[in-house]
Each structure stands twice: as C-alpha cells, then as structure tokens.
Amino acid sequence: MILDMHVHTVASDDSTATITGYIDLILAYRQFHPFDGFVLTEHRTYTPGLELRHYWDDYGVRVLQGVEMDTNLGHLLVYGINERVLERFDLTKRMHDGRRIIAELEHLGAVAVPSHPFRESVFGSVIERNFTEVAGIRILERYNGQNSDKQNERAEALCAQHALRGLGGSDAHYVHPTWFLTLCHGF
C-alpha cells in the first residue's frame, strides 16, 4: 500500500488543500502509478469521529487521520489516536515533552514519529548526539517532501545507524500536481 503519511488541509491554519482536491490528483495520477491514499496530519487538530470511510467507498482512496503535535524538540506525527490518547494529552497544546512523549503515546496504543527531524526540529540532532535521550523512538520521517536533499539524507542515515523504520510524506499544504512528484522523488 502506498500512502502519503503527512498531508495538511484547510483544517490546519496554514493550508489551502482539501481532501477532495487530493483525491482528484490521486485518481489522475493512478493512470500512471499506483497510489492508495493519504493520512491527514493537521497541526494540533484532531477530529474524533471524522467519517473518512466514504472516500474509500466512493473513490477507492484511503483517507486516514493522525495529527502533527508540537513538542519542545519539534513536530511529531501521531497515528492511531484513541480515547486513551485523547484523555491523556491535549493535542492542541504546544511544547509537549519530546524526550518522553513517544514512549507514552506508544504505551497508550498510538505510534509517534518525529517529522522533518532536521528542519524546524532538533529531534534529529538530539538523536544523533544520544539515541537514548528520546525514549521509545522506533520510526523516523525518513523522507519529507519539503526538506532539502541534505535534510532527507541525514534522516536516512539516522534510520540506518539505529535500525529505525522510516516513512515518507509530502508535508503538502496545498493541492498541486507536483505533490506526487515531491513524494515519489524520495522513494
């Protein structure tokens, strides 16, 4: 399954994209390459009960929901949000403890991934300096479509050095045909 693990829509305060705009591009792109869907990772915004299944039923495109949280070390993509996570954390809050939150979220049944760890973030530098300083880290955003090649290369090297799994996302904030090229360039 091929998913863009990091996109934003108008639900984020800095995006003009819509779910249907992304779907239209996916449907056009599928003529040339397989692409199954994307994960909404709005900045500090999560909507419990958001009905996304109908996009699969109507268009055959998977639309899933996560969140991009703020920590004192940078942004964190969080997947598998559940009631326990929502009871424990205020997702709208800034400056969560980046050194502990990944392990705490995993304990609650979610998966947390430092996003763009070498851009607008110190997650990557902290992990390079002392891997054990960030508790519970298992996955890193290895490729981010808004990063420079050097930033993505550093993330890839960190994954290899510590046997971390990697994922990729466009970090798209608007709908444009280059969205797919940006994402697929890294994989």
Domain spans, the chain: 3-185
Per-residue pLDDT tens digits for 54-83? 999 999 999 999 999 999 999 999 999 999
What pTM did the predictor assign?
Answer: 0.93
Q: Tell me the C-alpha to C-alpha distance, in Å, between residue 184 and each of 64, 155, 168.
A: 19, 17, 9
The residues, any chain, with a CB within 8 Å of residue 92's CB and separated by 6 or more, are 44, 45
The pLDDT score that the predictor gives to residue 32 is 85
Q: What is the pLDDT of residue 178?
A: 67
In this structure, the chain runs to a length of: 187
Average pLDDT over residues 102-118: 98
Residue 177 in this model has a pLDDT that exceeds 80: no
Cα-Cα end-to-end distance for the chain: 13
Kindly provide the residue ranges of all beta strands, DSSP E only, lying in 41-169, ordered along the sequence: 62-65, 67-71, 74-79, 111-114, 139-144, 165-169
The CATH code of domain 3-185 reads 3.20.20.140
pLDDT of residue 26: 92
The rounded distance, in Å, linking the Cα atoms of 137 and 165 is 10
Residues near 67 by Cβ (< 8 Å), separated by ≥ 6? 41, 42, 44, 45, 46, 77, 78, 81, 91
What is the pLDDT at residue 29? 87
Q: Residue 95 class from Cβ within 10 Å (0-12 exposed, 13-18 middle, 19+ buried)?
A: exposed
